[in-house]
Each structure stands twice: as structure tokens, then as C-alpha cells.
Amino acid sequence: MTRRLSYGMVGGGPGAFIGDVHRMAAELDGLARIAAGAFSSDPERSATKGAEIGLDPDRVYGNYAEMAEAEASLPRDRRLDFVIIVTPNHLHFDVARTFLEAGFHVVCDKPLTTTTADAEALCRLVAAGDRVFALTHNYGGYPMIKDARAIVREGRVGTIRRIQLEYFQGWLATPLEETGHPQAVWRTDPAQAGAAGALGDIGTHAHHLARYVTGLEVEALCGELTTFVPGRRLEDDASLLMRWNDGVRGTLTVSQVAAGEENGLAIRVYGSEGSIAWRHDDAETLWHRTPDGRARPRRRGHGWISPEAARASRVPPGHPEGFIEGFANLYRSVISTIGALDEGRRPDEADLDFPTVWDGARGVHFLERAVESGRRGAWVDARYEPPGEPSAGPGEPTR
């Protein structure tokens, strides 16, 4: 990197937690700084957020279309390098399309879109151009998840047989949306969140995590989707049986009405020669177990963990890293990739380690298949190849 990149943000207005997380993560390593934004569909709220973070008022916009047109017209030395999208789900497609067509690299929060058709339109747009498109499944940025991936790829668990996934939250155990809570309102509204509730909000993270760690793809699934809170329009609990390729079996259990739970994401991978297990509430530790009963905790920050995990660590052991650092690892890779392309260099393979638009399309298709299975109460075919995906193995970085 020979210069600090500049970026803009769409969404993330006053009171929007995730926008601040993305901003902190993008700037954690000093590789980028925010220069513009359309933070809200309300121009006054957008201006308030811009003033809060010290932006030039001339580069704070009342809507994203205005922002794309104005920023694209700036001279190269003032122009944004990339745009971060942190709006409700239903806006992702049009915002992403607008900025891709204006010539910007894009980083989008998950899920990519609310329909597979829209996801595929973005895939074709990215494939036809030269822009980087990244999706922020931040848990893939955790050092010990990278260590888990390395162990699996080294064959240290043998032939994979089973993948167990769970993600439990309790914040929607009551009808919080009826109080006007902004996050609860849009995440339980099918017009804004899409066809899936808990599955779209957190289940898509677990699905990507399994793909990332194992390199496998779901071939078929059978799901039961339940809405426990009366009057809620989307599911708040789901259980899926899953058939992965190579004969692997597994389950995914998701709930946002598990009272008392905070952010209980977990993955376990069982093979013929051992297993690995990771939980978000102890993100510094990956457990590696072997058939003879030995269980070895692998801790972030130590010299004997995989190079991929070491590269994703910033501080010594005993000083916990977590949520923001996971995002920051993705941003560091994206920014380094954009910087290399800007300078006419080939990006380092290690920097291509982030979810792409094609990963996003796979996630949206997975959600649609799960919703269809729940509606029919039957197994459904979940095999899928997104259009324009570069040649690479399942779960491999593609560019």
C-alpha cells in the first residue's frame, strides 16, 4: 500500500450499531478513512451523522443515488476507492448495483440481497467488470476459524462426516418490534428483511462459516421454520437437516427467541480421524480432538497455530480479540486487494481471503431453499452454481 484509501458509507445513520462497527473495523489498521456518506434516507439524519464523524458537509448526501453521481464525477485524487453498504437488506441490491455501475469497489453487509434473481444480477455485473465485491461474513475473519480451516485442509480430521451448526440469540424472545425498536422493526419485516427472519439474519452466518471451514457445499436440506412470537411475520426459530457434498451430513439450529442467549454461534466438524469445535463465546480457543480421547485447545496468539491464524492476530495471547477485529481482518484483505489492483499489481493470495459476491449468491439461494423446505415440509434440492463464478474449488477465494 502506497497510500491510504478513502471510502464512503451508505446506511449506518444515527443509532445504527453496525455502521459504526464497519467504520471502526475499516479504519483499525490505518489503511482507509471515511470521506463521504449517505447515512440515512432522511437528509437531516444523514447530515447529523456526517457532522458527528467530522465529514465535509459537501460530501454528506441525502440519498445514495446522489452520492454515486457526485462522487463518480470527482477527480481521481479525490474520488472514493470503495463504498460500504450497511442498509436494511431490501436496499442492498439497488445500492450495490448503483455503485458498481458508477465504477466503485463495493463492500456489502450480509445477506447479499433478498432474492436469488437480484444476487445473480450482481454476480453478472461483477463478472463483467473489474471491481472488487466483498461480503462481510465477519466470523470468517476470526483467527481460530482460520486455524480451523487450516486443520481441515491439512487432513488432520480425516474424511469429514458431519457438520454441526448452531446460532442462538434471545433478543427477540418478546415482540420487541411492537415497541418501535428500529433493529427489531426492519429485521422482522419481510418487505425489508426478505423471506427469511432468523435464518437470514444469523443462519446465513453459520452457513457461510461451514462452507469456509470445510470447503463443502449443501446439496439438499429439510427444514422446519417456526414463529413463536404471536403476530411476527417471519420465522424466529429454525432447524435444518443438511446433506453436504461428499456424503457429509449435518444440522443447523437457529433461534432468536432462545431467552437469555446473547450470541451463541458454534461449529463442530467431525471426521474419520478427529474433530474440531469452536464457540463464539470463547473465540480465542479452537478444540482439536482425536479418536483416542485427547482434546487439545489451540489458543490464538501462540506461535504454533497456523500461519493463517497468526496473520489474523494483532495482539499477544491473553489480550482477547473479537468482533471488530474479525471485521477488520476482512477489511484489511479487501483494502490490500483494491490497493494492489489500483497499483497494477497482482493481489497476494492471502489477501483474497474474503467472501465474494458469489459467496453471497450462494447464501441467498440457501435461504430461499430453506424457506421453501419449511413451507412444503419436505426435502429440497439445494445444489447451486452462481453465474460468472471464477473457477475455484468450493469455499476457495475467487476473484
Mean pLDDT in order along the chain per 10 residues (399 residues)? 92 94 98 98 96 97 97 95 97 98 98 98 97 98 98 98 98 98 96 97 98 98 98 98 98 98 98 98 97 94 92 92 96 97 92 97 98 98 97 43
CATH number at residue 46: 3.40.50.720
Which among 116, 166, 355, 169 is positioned nearest to 277, based on CA atoms? Answer: 166
Could you list the residue range(s) of the whole structural domain that residue 363 is in?
143-315+357-381
Residue 224: count other Cβ atoms within 10 Å of its Cβ: 14
Residues 121 and 246 reside in one and the same domain:
no
- Domain end among 109, 138, 167: 138
- Domain end among 78, 109, 138: 138
Domain assignment of residue 16, yes or no: yes
pLDDT digits (tens, 9 = 90+) for 174-218: 999 999 999 999 999 999 999 999 999 999 999 999 999 999 999
- Domain end among 138, 162, 180: 138
Residues 177 and 88 reside in one and the same domain:
no
Domain assignment of residue 346, yes or no: no
- Tell me the whole-structure pTM to 2 decimals: 0.95
Number of helical H runs and strand E runs in the chain: 13, 14
Residues 242 and 217 reside in one and the same domain:
yes
Residues 158 and 306 reside in one and the same domain:
yes
Residues 129 and 197 reside in one and the same domain:
no
Residues 159 and 289 reside in one and the same domain:
yes
Q: Tell me what pLDDT residue 261 has.
A: 98
Domain assignment of residue 11, yes or no: yes
CATH number at residue 205: 3.30.360.10
Q: Tell me what pLDDT residue 57 has.
A: 97
Q: Tell me what pLDDT residue 2 has.
A: 79
Domain assignment of residue 394, yes or no: no
pLDDT digits (tens, 9 = 90+) for 315-371: 999 999 999 999 999 999 999 999 999 999 999 999 999 999 999 999 999 999 999
Domain assignment of residue 392, yes or no: no
Q: Please count the structural domains in the chain.
A: 2
Residues 292 and 362 reside in one and the same domain:
yes
Q: Tell me what pLDDT residue 36 has.
A: 98
Residues 204 and 63 reside in one and the same domain:
no
